[in-house]
A and B are shown apart, each in its own frame.
Chain A
Amino acid sequence: MLGYIIRRLLQVIPVLWLVATSTFFLMHAAPGGPFDSERQISAEIQANINARYHLDEPLGKQYLRYLQMLASGDLGPSFRYADRSVNEIIATTFPVSAMVGLIGLFFALSIGLSTGIFAASKLNSWRDYSAMLLALLGISLPSFVVGPLMILLFSIKLGWFSVSGYNRLQDLLLPGLTMGIMYAAFFARLTRGGISEIIRQDFIRTAKAKGLSNTVIMLRHTLKGGLLPATSFLGPAATAMLTGSLVVETIFNLPGLGRFFVQSALNRDYTLVMGCVLFLAVLIVIMNLLVDLAYAFLDPRVTYD
């Protein structure tokens, strides 16, 4: 088990190398640079700036220098925000994105799992069908449609939340809900599918024959196996919520990582773009690992070695 975890964590290295290399050359292939501006600067100053950030060196040398820096855990200075390092920017913006993501995940799981379990316990009844129809509707609702409608309703018409920005923790409630709805729909479908599969198994029939109540059967026998499909979707969902925060952060005007990322790509802020992508890649690897471990816990037939 420990060996498996270590091997999976080592997987981070090729991922990081691939990400670093592809983003590095992509960004440098882009026309324009981080210090282009409307203002004319003298050639001397331009040369100084380039020397300061090693932009005057050949690309191969810059690449090696970047990898070297990376190996020591340093993502380098931001090109655009002169006195801030990329590590610093990520450290201040990521908590906002993570908070929105967590709230979204909470909504997605609580709404999704309860709807799925409800539908599965009333399999093929009108309740089941209407719950699943609702879920299909939820899947077809993009966050950039839900978000503005929520602002229109809850912030402007009802005045419960601030329209945009992030001052208090409850300002993250609407963004979280916006993000959670679509994934709640996915979780509901997966949970219903998983449970309806388990319900047909012999051991459930045995449990029923023993005279156990439906609640006990659901909690003790069905749920563990029935949640497997939802669990395997947890990794991609959690990842998507972090990257999907791009839109939500734009709509709700939150100072999160996603918004910084789009801005830094437009600014050609090489180090910041690469820092964001690398950071996310590590996060994805870790999340996928956690999901796989949870999988082994839920399904004893799955073992890792």
Chain B
Amino acid sequence: MIKQKTTFVAENEGGGPSRRDLFADAAAGRSLWQDSWRRLAQNKLAVAGLLYLLLQCLLALLAPYLSSYSYADADLLLGPTPPGGEHLCGTDDLGRDILARLLFGARISLAVGFLATAVSMVIGVSYGAISGYLGGRVDTVMMRLLEVLYALPFTFFVIILMVIFGRNIYLLFIALGAVQWLTMARIVRGQVLSIKNREYVEAALTIGVSHWRIIWRHIIPNIIGPVIVYSTLTIPVVVLEEAFLSFLGLGVQEPMASWGTLIADGVGAMETYPWMLIFPSFSLMVALLALNFLGDGLREAMDPQAGLD
């Protein structure tokens, strides 16, 4: 945008408004980031998603202060009680407060979502950037390897890992992240490949700018948009994956809870104590929906040319 403006200035010199005025206008103009932010702020669903997620994170962080019960406080004499009164979301068959378990469960589910995505981002971006920037034979070999990796049934590997090394929450972060980086690597590589052949990079090379500076000034700012968008869309996938593993009994361990284990407990009791299924399912669904709203909104905001998909 700005580039075009300056050529416009050069062509119209003398005729139109003075050069100084136009530069003042350019200085007051908006950067691409501000543009994106504006577009995002106009998207009501995305803003609602963002606000909901912030609220959910806050609730999860403050869980010990918000609830007078702990996720592990069992009250066998009380047993399962329907929602209302003392226990807003009822209690499960061991008399544990479901709201407390949901709040503490959100900590696990969200932490897995963010951390595993961060792991996938680090691996994917470095792999893709190295492959794309070096190009040539290195690129060919790395992409062939990626093709082979695409054919591996990764979910099964995560299951084997969880079975073998026990239900370790840190292992879960790494395992889930290590599985999700393939597409990220592809996206980054494609971007890098197209950017490094642009004229401005060539121009920078000819005036003797170092590789690191090119990567820092020209490549990274250009790939950061797609990386953020794809990461936002990876978070719900990972949250879902964790819930899926916990549902199979391979995620977090009792009495600790995540949304997945709570749903699994709820399924077992759905005919007699339906609230045990309804509240956790609802929490997971709304969180996933919010994440997807935000991810979609970000994608449209950062790359208005790309449609929905």
Contact = CB atoms under 8 A, between A and B. Distances in A.
Tell me whether A and B are bound partners.
yes
A291 to B, nearest CB: 12
A196 to B, nearest CB: 5
B168 to A, nearest CB: 13
Contact of A144 (B161, B267, B274, B309): B267
B271 A144 contact: no
Interface in B262-281: 263-264, 266-267, 270-271, 274, 277, 281
Contacts of A261: 156, 159
Given A262-B248, A277-B156, A251 B309 contact: no
Contacts of B58: none
A190 B152 CA distance: 24
Interface in B139-196: 147-148, 150-153, 155-157, 159-161, 163-165
Interface in B257-309: 260, 263-264, 266-267, 270-271, 274, 277, 281, 284-286, 288-289, 292-293, 296, 307-309
B125 interface: no
B164 A142 contact: no
Given A18-B152, A281-B152, A189 B308 contact: yes
A237 to B, nearest CB: 13
Contact residues of A: prevailing secondary structure: helix
B271 A156 contact: yes
Nearest to A135: B308
Contact of B160 (A23, A132, A285): A23
A273 B160 contact: yes
A284 interface: yes
B155 A27 contact: no
Nearest to A142: B240
Contacts of A11: 147-148, 151
A199 to B, nearest CB: 10
Given A18-B148, A193-B309, A281-B152, A145 B284 contact: yes
B236 interface: yes
Given A193-B308, A247-B244, A288-B150, A140 B285 contact: yes
A1 interface: no
B243 interface: yes
Contacts of B293: 136
B163 A145 contact: no
B307 to A, nearest CB: 5
Nearest to A273: B160
Given A14-B148, A229-B309, A281-B152, A265 B270 contact: no
B308 to A, nearest CB: 5
B296 A196 contact: no
A169 interface: no
B247 interface: yes
A152 B250 CA distance: 25
Contacts of B248: 246-247, 250, 262
Contact of B281 (A145, A197, A251, A273): A145
B244 A136 contact: no
A45 interface: no
Nearest to A148: B267
A18 B157 CA distance: 12
A91 interface: no
A142 B151 contact: no
Most central of A140, A196, A197 by chain B CB within 10 Å:
A140
A18 B147 CA distance: 13
A30 B151 contact: no
A261 B158 CA distance: 12
Given A26-B161, A136-B296, A247-B244, A193 B307 contact: yes
B163 A265 contact: yes
Contact of A152 (B247, B271, B308): B271
A277 B153 contact: yes
B267 A246 contact: no
A93 B9 CA distance: 71
A265 B148 contact: no
A265 B308 contact: no
B106 to A, nearest CB: 16
Given A11-B147, A15-B148, A142-B244, A27 B160 contact: yes
A285 B147 CA distance: 10
A247 B164 CA distance: 20
Contacts of B152: 15, 18-19, 281, 284
Interface in B8-58: none
B308 A251 contact: no
A145 B153 contact: no
B289 A137 contact: yes
A132 B307 CA distance: 12
A189 B148 CA distance: 28
Given A15-B151, A19-B153, 6 more contacts: A23-B160, A29-B164, A140-B288, A193-B307, A193-B309, A265-B164
Interface of A: 11, 14-15, 18-19, 22-23, 26-27, 29-31, 132, 136-137, 139-142, 144-145, 148-149, 152, 156, 189-190, 192-194, 196-197, 229, 239, 243-244, 246-247, 250-251, 261-262, 265-266, 273, 276-277, 280-281, 284-285, 288
28 contacts: A18-B148, A18-B152, A27-B164, A30-B163, A136-B292, A136-B293, A137-B289, A139-B288, A142-B240, A144-B244, A144-B247, A145-B281, A149-B281, A156-B271, A192-B309, A193-B308, A193-B309, A229-B309, A243-B156, A246-B155, A250-B248, A261-B156, A265-B164, A266-B163, A281-B151, A281-B152, A281-B153, A284-B150
By Cβ-Cβ distance, the 7 closest A-B pairs, closest first, are: A193-B309, A30-B164, A140-B288, A140-B289, A280-B153, A265-B163, A145-B281
